Amino acid sequence: QQQVKQSPQSLIVQKGGISIINCAYENTAFDYFPWYQQFPGKGPALLIAIRPDVSEKKEGRFTISFNKSAKQFSLHIMDSQPGDSATYFCAPFSSGSARQLTFGSGTQLTVLP
């Protein structure tokens, strides 16, 4: 059973544009919703995360929007820069049951200069 569906698989954006990546989940027990960023040859690193008691969290150019009823959350990158080019993974987590992150399949973002 695929618990996490991430889209799109790849995304190309012009510098200065907005990048939007979506994550849909099935497990209603998830209570922590992080996005990880991975550069080639590196391990993933936490970018931003949200808990379900808020609908939006903003950190600089990065925003998470959370829709509990739709069981979806998304990552918005404003004023996208070439340095944002990386693979992004959503990885929702259930602190009460599962012990490991359930990673989405990843979105390869390319920001053109």
Partner 1 sequence: GAGVSQSPSNKVTEKGKDVELRCDPISGHTALYWYRQRLGQGLEFLIYFQGNSAPDKSGLPSDRFSAERTGESVSTLTIQRTQQEDSAVYLCASSFTGTSLGGTQYFGPGTRLLVL
Q: Which residues bind partner 1 (CB under 8 A)?
A: 6, 31-32, 34, 41-46, 49, 89, 91, 93, 95, 98-106
Shortest approach of partner 1 to residue 87 CB, angstroms?
9
User: What span, in angstroms and rounded, lies between the C-alpha atoms of 94 and 109?
Assistant: 27
User: What span, in angstroms and rounded, lies between the C-alpha atoms of 14 and 26?
Assistant: 32
User: What span, in angstroms and rounded, lies between the C-alpha atoms of 1 and 12?
Assistant: 29
> With respect to partner 1, which residue has the nearer C-beta, 17 or 22?
22
Shortest approach of partner 1 to residue 32 CB, angstroms?
3
Shortest approach of partner 1 to residue 79 CB, angstroms?
25
User: What span, in angstroms and rounded, lies between the C-alpha atoms of 33 and 49?
Assistant: 5
